[in-house]
Amino acid sequence: MKSRSSKSRPPEEPKNLSERINSLPKWAREYIHELEARADPAGDVQELIFLRDQNKALIKLVGELRRRPEAGKADCRRLTG
């Protein structure tokens, strides 16, 4: 009887979507790329999602700086030049 430690572990799952897509067969990756190109040819949706995420991060940063008034002033000066 084999011990539990000698069993092979399943491969780790990719952490993010791009890693998961890149692990697919070539035909599947090409199909997904084609769908993406047809659905958003100008890349507008991708840009909007990026800007939304950036906006959330900036709002969070402003909130953190407001909670630290003295440090926040120094950080704001550093960020704005």
Write down the domain spans for the chain: 16-80
Per-residue model confidence (pLDDT) at position 43: 82
Q: Could you read off the pLDDT tens digit of each residue along the chain, which spans 81 residues?
A: 455 555 677 667 667 888 889 999 999 999 998 988 888 888 888 899 999 999 999 999 999 888 887 765 666 666 665
User: 14: which residues sit within 8 A by CB, 6+ positions away?
Assistant: 20, 22, 23
CA dihedral 22, 23, 27, 29 (to 10 degrees): -30
Tell me the pTM: 0.44
